[in-house]
Amino acid sequence: MKLSIIMPNLLTWDGTRPVVGGLERMAWALIQAARTAGFTVDVHQNGNSDWVKTIDGIAIHGHGLARLSLLAAMESIHHQTTRCLYLSIMQEPIAYRPYSLVVSHGVWWDAPGLDVRTQLESSRMALEQAQEVISVDYNFLNVIRAVYPSLAHKITVIPNFVNVNEFKPPVSPRLGPPVILFPRRLDPARGINLFLDAVQTLVDVHPDARFIMSVDQNNGPYNAHFESEIAALAFRDRVEVITTPFEKMSELYRLADIVVIPSSYSEGTSLSCLEAMASGCAVVATNVGGLTNLILSEYNGLLVAPRVDAISQAINRLIWDRELRNQLSQHAYESALSFRQERWQRAWTEALERVYGFPSGVGR
Amino acid sequence: MKTRIAILTSNHFEPSGIRQVYGGAERYGVELTRLLLDMDYDVEWWQVGDNWRKEIIPGVPIRGIPETETPYQTMPHLNQVFFEQAVDADAAIYFVMYLAYPTVFPKSISVSHGIYWDHSGMDKFLPNGQDRNEWLRRLQMAISGVSSVVSVDTATINWVRATWPILAQKFSYVPNFVDLDAFYPKKRHDIDSTSTRVRVVFPRRATTVRGINEAGKAALWLTESNPDIEVHFVGRAHDDAMERTMTAWAASHDRIFYYWLPPHLMAELYRYADIVWIPTKSSEGTSLSCLEAMASGCAVVTTTVGGLADLVQDEYSGIVIDPTARALVDATNRLVNGPELRLRIGNHAREVAETFSLDRWRSTWARIIEEVL
């Protein structure tokens, strides 16, 4: 049985390079899960011309109409597919296939200046038309329940996953001066400035601490802007900025004592947060979106308001209090195990079979 | 002279002033009063009532204001009279978020006890789009006016962030508390290892939003299919008639019980229980019942509603399900057939509950009060 995964861009719009991000990582994990369950999978995405690329036996279709209109590209996708899985509710296809599945990666309109009403409407359209919406966190579900109570039953929560064989605590305890890591993409939602402002208050108090930012290189202009911004900082020499290939990330987490996830909006069950937890780091996260589903404050991390003073106090407390740090990291590691990838895959396989039937032909 | 703090609530006592409603919010009110007295403030309360005057705890007055109207789910008249009567106070605490509409003290804090508008029943009170918008406008005004909002859960903060993003910065997350000395797990030597009996407890009010219907159905299926399971429904209903119905229903089914207990016996009940159901369908903050069950080392089965997600992580400190009878049965069977899972979840639940101490609640609240004053 063929299943088409629809998403913005698994590859760049010209089809030449993979795009690196949480959504794309989830897509590859989901492709694997669907294939294991017996589905034949292809991917449809936006392109700047019509193209087909095959990676690992998976046909990836670029739809060139996206250059003119994203909506038209979606129609082109609909013309070529039957069973659809909409991997991002933010794509707003407007018309959804019945008996389809839509994925919400968390509330995305919770930033000043966004049109709340329009975004809620687009969530409502997805909920009304699709068979089921899978949400990566409870927060999206709770917001929908508070706005459209009668639609909440269409949402199933499957939190994001972590590969606990790859992301695991260091064999021997971390020694040396404390390492504070910010492992996020350069996206305003991810709180780069909150982190830098917090670091500014800490550099003089903790002359031996290491502050590391591991950021992506997805977006040239954005990177250039960031470079010029940090070049002007008085404490520039205290912040190490690096780019780490995904396969080296687990090592980086094992080096870090404290990981900061200072998202200010649009956050689900963050993969970075889960990976830091599985690696036994002490996590400081904001109380935004799905982060509250991962961190129970004072138990397996510290949950704070997305404000500089709150984040800086939390980091400061963890630098001073090694005992607290150890206790939080132990519990973070233990609780991350319930987000292991095998569980995620089982829940997703059940969802696929519920909505699309059994690939062998039994069911719908 | 001492700094004076005036607190406005809707109903700490029933408006008649006779019976005390002793739920989670009322316990919260008493603890908050104690904290303010310990911080050396003068405290005075107001609520809906026929001009009576009583004491909320010895020495702390609470006065009734005879304003009962609730246009658009707010109480502007009550708010106005409070503002006039408490005018010489230095700061105000609005014990329910909407009570801060329309007029607020310059220095003020309001409290959110969780989202309560997340069920279709709200349409009875706000039957059309205009009414709903007017209610939202008033709620927005209530939040904008106060200096700070204390929320018992992150669900409310994130709903506000998804509704009026800028207002979210007024909020502080101060989860509810549990008395860790009163609520503790049963001692190992108290566990009768020869018994195969598994006790399930539903420690909530017998109401629709708390999932009584689903729990009732699940209890029937479970007790019929497994002679080792008994289910206890422990909590008052809305009225005498419903309580009689529940009692008759329980009486006609083996191993199903219905009764209620005074607060001081609840700790004993949790130690008697193996599995605790919190199958809430809507209107939930960081549930005290859930925290108490967790502190008692019970394996809790909860839903995703509101603040429950701040307490329970699926398969770690509890089992998280959709609020259906089928899901309750499946989760309960897993726990009944998996004593190790039950034990592991119960141990983690106790560990997690230990971070919800009254001391921590008091120090966080104290910091917020000091910031506002």
Mean pLDDT for all residues in chain A: 95
**Cα-to-chain-centroid distance, residue B6:** 23
**Kind and range of the H or E run holding B57:** strand B53-57
Q: Answer whether residue B181 is part of any domain.
A: no
Task: Please answer yes or no on whether B158 and A110 come within 8 Å at the CB atom.
Answer: yes
The pLDDT assigned to B61 comes to: 97
Beta bridge partners of A134: A103, A156
Whether B260 is in a domain gets the answer yes
A143–B158 CB contact, under 8 Å? yes
Identify the three-state secondary structure at position B334: helix
d(CA A137, CA A145): 13
Same domain, B36 and B130: yes
Whether the pLDDT of residue B326 is over 60: the answer is yes
DSSP H or E segment with residue B129? helix B129-145
Q: Distance between CA atoms of A27 and B296, rounded to whole angstroms?
A: 41
Q: Please give the residue of chain A at the shortest CA–CA distance from B121.
A: A149
Query: Are B204 and B245 contained in the same domain?
Result: yes
Per-residue pLDDT at B191:
64
Per residue in A315-328, pLDDT (tens digit) is 999 999 999 999 99
Judged by DSSP in three states, B178 sits in strand
**B183 lies in a domain?**
no
CATH number of A179-339: 3.40.50.2000
**How far does the CA of residue A281 sit from the closest CA of chain B (Å)?**
18
Residues B215-240, mean pLDDT to the nearest whole number:
95
B351 within 8 A of A299, measured Cβ to Cβ: yes
Q: Where are the domains of chain A?
A: 2-161+341-356, 179-339
Domains identified in chain B, total number: 2
A33-92 residues touching B, CB cutoff 8 A: none
User: pLDDT value at position B192?
Assistant: 65
- Residue A276's Cα: distance from chain center in Å? 13
In the DSSP assignment, the letter for residue B17 is: S
pLDDT of residue B276: 98
Yes or no, beta carbons of A112 and B154 under 8 Å apart: no
List pLDDT tens digits, range A173-225. Answer: 888 899 999 999 888 899 999 999 999 999 999 999 999 999 988 778 888 99
pLDDT value of residue B23: 77
Strands B229-234 and A51-55: unpaired
Q: Is B180 within a domain?
A: no
**Predicted pLDDT at B190:** 63
Helix (H, G, I), strand (E, B) or coil at B75: coil
Report the residue of chain B nearest A156, measured CA to CA: B322
Which residue in the set B162, B316, B352 is minimally distant from A109, CB to CB?
B162
Q: What is the mean pLDDT of residues B171-178?
A: 97
Residue B291 sits at the vertex; the CA angle it makes with B318 and B257, to the nearest 5 degrees, is: 80
Question: Residue A216: what pLDDT?
Answer: 86
Q: Which of B151, B158, B300 to mutate to test the interface with A (most CBs of A within 10 A)?
A: B158
Residues in chain A with CB shorter than 8 Å from the CB of B122 are 149
What part of A 343-362 touches B (C-beta under 8 Å)?
343
Interface of A with B in 292-311 (CB under 8 A): 292-293, 296-299, 303, 305-307
In a domain, B300, yes or no: yes
Q: Which residue has the tokens 């987000």?
A: A339
Mark whether B102 and B9 lie in a shared domain: yes
Q: What phi, psi does A101 have (nearest 5°)?
A: -125, 135
Q: Which residues of chain B from 162 to 191 reach within 8 Å of chain A, CB to CB?
A: 162-166, 168-169, 171-173, 175
Please check whether residues B271 and B314 belong to one and the same domain: yes
Please check whether residue B363 lies inside any domain of the structure: yes
| B16 part of a folded domain | yes
Q: Do the beta carbons of residue A60 and residue A43 sit within 8 Å?
A: yes
B109 and B202 together in one domain: no
Contact residues on chain B for A303, CB-CB shorter than 8 A: 154, 173
* Record: contact A152-B118, CB cut-off 8 A: yes
Distance CA B111, CA B146 (A): 10
Name the pTM for this structure: 0.92
Residue type, B267: A
pLDDT beyond 60 at B209: yes
Q: Could you write out the three-class secondary structure of chain A?
A: CEEEEECCCCECCCCCCECCCHHHHHHHHHHHHHHHCCCEEEEEEECCCCEEEEECCEEEEEEHHHHCCHHHHHHHHHHHCCCEEECCHHHCCCCCCCCCEEEECCCCCCCCCCCHHHHHHHHHHHHHHCCEEEECCHHHHHHHHHHCHHHHHHEEECCCCECCCCCCCCCCCCCCCCEEEECCCCCHHHCHHHHHHHHHHHCCCCCCCEEEEECCCCCHHHHHHHHHHHHCCCCHHHEEEECCCHHHHHHHHHHCCEEEECCCCCCCCCHHHHHHHHCCCEEEEECCCCHHHHCCCCCCCEEECCCHHHHHHHHHHHHHCHHHHHHHHHHHHHHHHHHEHHHHHHHHHHHHHHHHCCCCCCCC
- Give how far A364 is from chain B: nearest CA, Å: 22
Minimal-distance CA residue of chain B relative to A295 = B310
Cβ separation A292–B313 shorter than 8 A: no
Between the CA of residue A318 and those of A331, B126, B353, what are the distances in Å? 15, 47, 21
Question: How many whole angstroms separate alpha carbon B121 and alpha carbon B133?
Answer: 16
**B17: confidence class by pLDDT, cuts 50, 70, 90:** confident
Please, are residues B329 and B218 in contact by the beta-carbon 8 Å criterion? yes
State the ipTM, two decimals.
0.88
C-alpha distances in Å from residue B111, one per residue of B114, B142, B170: 9, 11, 11
Note the pLDDT of residue B56: 94
Quick: pLDDT tens for B253-302.
Answer: 999 999 999 888 999 999 999 999 999 999 999 999 999 999 999 999 99
Residue type at position A51: W
Residues B127 and B196 in one domain: no
- A316, A304 contact by CB (below 8 A): no
CB B144 within 8 A of CB B137: no
Q: What is the DSSP letter of B168?
A: G
pLDDT in tens, B93-130: 999 999 999 999 999 999 999 999 999 988 899 999 99
> How far is the CA of B108 from the CAs of A35, A343, B12, B141, in angstroms?
57, 46, 19, 14
**Residue ranges of chain A whose pLDDT lies below 70:** 361-364
Contact A296 B311 (CB under 8 A): yes
**Assigned domain for B80 exists:** yes
- Is A141 an interface residue toward B (CB < 8 Å)? yes
Whether the CB of B352 is below 8 Å from some CB of chain A: the reply is yes
At B323, which CATH number?
Answer: 3.40.50.2000
More confident residue, A307 or B190: A307
Q: Distances in Å between the alpha carbon of B10 and those of A50, A220, B96, B101?
A: 63, 56, 7, 13
Q: Which domain holds residue B118?
A: 4-175+358-372
CATH number of A2-161+341-356: 3.40.50.2000
Q: Which amino acid is at B232?
A: H
Q: How many CB atoms lie within 10 A of CB A299?
A: 22
Find tokens 């809507």 and name the residue. B282
Task: Check A142 against B306: CB less than 8 A apart.
Answer: yes
- Say if residue B150 is in the same domain as residue B205: no
CA distance A351 to chain B (A): 14
Give CA–CA dist A289/A205, Å, rounded.
31
Residue A231 to residue B240: CA distance in whole angstroms: 72
Q: Taking residues B132-148, report their average pLDDT.
A: 97
B15, B85: one domain = yes
Q: Residues A193, A199: contact at Cβ < 8 Å?
A: no
